[in-house]
Amino acid sequence: MAAFTRYNFEWEPQLRAALRLSLEPGAEKPLLRQGRAIGWIEQALAPLRDSHPRVDITRLAIAIRSATGIESLIWLTDVAGLTREQAAQTVRHTARALLDAAVAGQAAAGTGWSN
């Protein structure tokens, strides 16, 4: 998450532009927004396949991405008024909370995290 957040801030102008274009009515998905982050997060979560085999890695990666991408960072800095470091810390804590919830709930039926 630290590397992903650095990436988002490093490429922030381009990511903001791509996000802006993607929000236009009838817009096609811009080249920059291909969903690569989900794959990166799935790779980071890969060890869970052995230690917590019932956790749905793809579903967890999507949940983490939904709460940690450029959209979240923009909201945290522009709307909530956090500094870039505070925003980065917030998305890292959010990702960790989602991971902890998935691991803790892996055995519970119907939690949405299990296969």
Give the model confidence (pLDDT) of 60-108 as tens digits: 999 999 999 999 999 999 999 999 999 999 999 999 999 999 999 864 5
pLDDT at 25: 83
The residue type found at 107 is A
- For the full predicted model, state whether its pTM sits above 0.85: no
Give the whole-number percent of the chain exceeding pLDDT 90: 71
Q: What is the rounded distance in angstroms from the CA atom of residue 83 to the CA atom of residue 78? A: 9
Domain boundaries, the chain: 2-24+43-104
With contact defined as beta carbons under 8 Å apart, do 85 and 73 qualify? no
Residues listed for the chain: 115
pLDDT at 109: 43
| Nearest in space to 64 (alpha carbons), one of 5, 16, 19, 12 | 5
